[in-house]
Amino acid sequence: MPDVLMFADTFRSPELRHEVPLGIPDPFFYAERDGVKHIQISSMEVPRLAALGLFELHPSEEYGVDELIASGLTYPEIRAQLALRAVKDLGVTSAVVPETFPLWLADRLRADGVELSVDGAFFDARRRVKTEAELAGMRRAQRAAEAGMDTVRDLLRRATRHDGGGLELDGEPLTVERVKSAMSQTFAAHGTTADEFIVAPGPQGAVGHDMGSGPIRTGEPIVVDIWPRDNESFIFCDMTRTFVVGDVPDDVRRWHRLCKEALDRAISEITDGADGRAIFDGTCEIFEAAGEPTQRTKEPGKALADGFFHGLGHGVGLEVHEQPGMGLAVHLPLKAGDVVTVEPGCYRQGYGGVRLEDLVLVTADGAENLTRYPYDLEP
């Protein structure tokens, strides 16, 4: 195995959070040398890290932080000197680093003769197969997502139509903002955080990752796509349902039927070693047979705005979008321990769309659907 270097905090770096399962807000130096994990960090963080029993710890005092401060150096230069001294002390002469490795540190290390190779695929592969602790966090996040979906469904159930077709609840218009506020409280009550998520009514639901805004009306599809993160493990989940209050338009009901058929087929084909591109192709066949465009049938060089215009799914873990994917440009087979989304959708710009999404654990002999939620259009 190659030596590994990282310099980041564990809130913004999934690569580092995978190796250091604690929330540490300030950037610190991490190295793997001959299979041993080393951390150079402020002494104030040492007790928490020591309790894990996973690392060789090097408090900043070991590399002369007091001397560096007394010399009058700026904080950025002190930070750089500590990392450079750690690399020299550990004897690292070449290492792989993630795509987000700081350029300022890479320049200094290369100037000192250290060979660095940026290898995003190396770090992606380390995170694909989920640990038991990560899976436990994902299951907690998924239960929180389902509770959040209950919240929006309850609001839609209790709302009534007022003049012009808009929805009203307790004498006030029912808006996306009002729904999101209630859902955020549910996420928090379940030990999760959601910085943003999608509640997209009508035409907004057909525009990629439009987060949604404004009033909710009867007779239009509402795409609800949510990915709360478990506060303990920092692991995400991801799920989507589509609702319509009042009469369901025929085209929306047809799209919903196609999405459910595609979802069921894809999940039935997921297993260890399965080809993600082949599963995506099977989904496209369902939409194409119904006359809907897909990425396979679109005109080269032109964006696809209608039909099934996106990939089938993606990995989920310390990032909400990570490897492996299931789509047109996929080259990685699935493997046991992956967790992927399955999210077929069908849309028409200026009108709306339908998307269904479940979270699926790849197993040695098939798949476990981690999502336990009904698919009904009517809330």
Beta bridge partners of 240: 225, 357
Helix axes 75-90, 103-111, angle to 10 degrees: 50
Tally of residues, the chain: 379
**Beta pairing, strands 94-97 & 115-118:** parallel
Structural contact between residues 83 and 105, judged by C-beta atoms closer than 8 angstroms: yes
Residue 281, SS3 per DSSP: helix
Structural contact between residues 320 and 119, judged by C-beta atoms closer than 8 angstroms: no
Distances (CA, A) of 149 to 196, 209, 226: 14, 18, 8
Full pLDDT tens readout for the chain, 379 residues? 899 999 999 999 999 999 999 999 999 999 999 999 999 999 999 999 999 999 999 999 999 999 999 999 999 999 999 999 999 999 999 999 999 999 999 999 999 999 999 999 999 999 999 999 999 999 999 999 999 999 999 999 999 998 788 999 999 999 999 999 999 999 999 999 999 999 999 999 999 899 999 999 999 999 999 999 999 999 999 999 999 999 999 999 999 999 999 999 999 999 999 999 999 999 999 999 999 999 999 999 999 999 999 999 999 999 999 999 999 988 789 999 999 999 999 999 999 999 999 999 999 999 999 999 999 999 9
Radius of gyration of the chain (CA): 24
Closest-CA residue to 379 (of 263, 243, 248, 282): 243
Structural contact between residues 201 and 222, judged by C-beta atoms closer than 8 angstroms: yes
Q: What is the pLDDT of residue 174?
A: 97
- The tokens of 34 are what? 């001959």
Helix axes 250-269, 276-289, angle to 10 degrees: 150
Element (H, E) at 66: helix 65-70
Query: How far apart are the C-alpha atoms of 360 and 218, rounded to whole Å?
Result: 32
Distances (CA, A) of 98 to 5, 126, 262, 367: 8, 12, 35, 30
Q: Where are the alpha helices (DSSP H) in 112-248?
A: 120-128, 132-158, 176-189
Distances (CA, A) of 307 to 187, 237, 253, 351, 378: 32, 25, 14, 12, 22
pTM score, whole prediction: 0.94
The number of helix segments (H) and strand segments (E) in the chain equals: 10, 21
Query: How far apart are the C-alpha atoms of 283 and 312, rounded to whole Å?
Result: 8
CA angle 350, 354, 356 (to 5 degrees): 150
Q: Which residues contact residue 230 at a Cβ distance below 8 angstroms, ignoring those fewer than 6 apart? A: 137, 138, 140, 141, 144, 191, 192, 236, 237
- The tokens of 194 are what? 């959601």
Query: How far apart are the C-alpha atoms of 15 and 128, rounded to whole Å?
Result: 11
Q: What is the pLDDT of residue 348?
A: 97
- Domains of the chain, each with CATH number or no CATH: 4-128 (3.40.350.10), 132-369 (3.90.230.10)
Q: What is the pLDDT of residue 331?
A: 79
